[in-house]
Structure 1
Amino acid sequence: MVEDKIAALLEEKFREDAFADCFLVDLKLHAHNKLDVFLDSDFGITFEKCHKISRYLEQYLDEEQWLGEKYVLEVSSPGISRPLIMQRQYPRNIGRKVEVKLNDGDKRTGTLLEVEEDHIVLEEKVRVQEGKRKKTEVVETEISFSSIEHTKVKITF
């Protein structure tokens, strides 16, 4: 499959020092030979890196004709609207407000405080009953990666 060939080329490229902090997030081949490649980096993917990787992939696509003579290749970062799906994406978002959707359908919203090997720590504001009235408390919640369906970074102004 073309996707497997592209993924292998990217793995090779990511072994180079200049691209060692990069990783593949998603790869989609659409109708009419349109290929979307979503990359990220431990320090934030730049336009320049996307451009260089696009040229690198085009070289093989043109030479090998994996998508024929006419194709569209888009190499970009996942963007803020796409969920975090890889553990490697989380550390760069420490301190940001996130919404975590759990496998059971429950949602948790708060500030991402920590990222560990098997879990994250979220600072949440929760309403608790105290006598006859409710009050807001700030709690730290540990959420295992195995229970997370996806996480979205919430934009705050």
Structure 2
Amino acid sequence: MSATGVQQVVAEMLQPYLDQEGFELVDVEYVKEGGNRYLRVYVDKEGGIDIDECGRISEYLSDRLDDKDPIPDAYILEVSSPGAERPLKKPEDFRRAVGKDVYITTYEPIGGKKEFEGRLLSYDENELTLNSGKKTDVIPTDKVAGARLAIIF
């Protein structure tokens, strides 16, 4: 099964439990690093998630994966918070990030740059507006390669 297939199966398996318990599925990764495969599940909730909650989610998912056995390869399961520099992937992630500091990378240069960091001023399905303190940049959403919350010192 492809990495995308694994991610989709895991998300579908886990989503009803997360909805019931008030958690948000932030991301699912299935990657090979060195000689090991990792299934990483990032979960959050309003006010943050703690280690005990991650443990409960991990147990629930591990039991379901053992029952269904959808992943043919051996892997290491990790369930955690997305952290302070949470990735922004879905439109609602960007909407929640308006007014916060973000780090954006683009597929191609915009105004001579492919990396942007600053306060997210606005977001819609077509573009986002970011202010670095020195300048305001407007970035088309279809040019965004990656985005995350940023801690700016």
TM bucket (normalised to shorter chain) is: 0.5 to 0.7
Q: Within 5 Å, which residues of 2 pair with 1:8-157?
A: 8-16=12-20, 18-19=21-22, 22-30=24-32, 31-32=35-36, 34-41=38-45, 43=46, 45-47=48-50, 48-66=52-70, 72-81=76-85, 83-105=87-109, 106=113, 107-126=115-134, 139-157=135-153
Residue 61 (structure 1) shift:
2.5
Secondary structure (helix, strand or coil) at the match of 2:133 reads: strand
What do residues 21-69 of structure 1 show as CA deviations (whole Å, max 9, x unaligned)? 512413215454542212345x35412543332121011133344568x
TM, length-normalised to structure 2: 0.68
Unaligned runs of 5+ residues in structure 2 are none
Aligned CA RMSD, in angstroms, stands at 3.1
Q: What amino acid maps onto 2:150 in structure 1?
A: K
TM, length-normalised to structure 1: 0.66
Aligned equivalents of 2:105 and 2:81: distance in 1? Answer: 22
Secondary structure (helix, strand or coil) at the match of 1:111 reads: strand
Aligned equivalents of 1:125 and 1:63: distance in 2? Answer: 52
Contact between 2:103 and 2:117, CA under 8 Å: does it hold in 1?
yes
Choose 1 or 2 for highest CA Rg: 1
Shift in alpha-carbon separation, 1:40–1:115, aligned structure 2, 3 A: farther
Residue 74 (structure 1) shift:
0.7
Aligned residues: 141
Task: Give the percent of matched residue pairs that are identical in Structure 1 and Structure 2.
Answer: 26
Shift in alpha-carbon separation, 1:15–1:150, aligned structure 2, 3 A: same
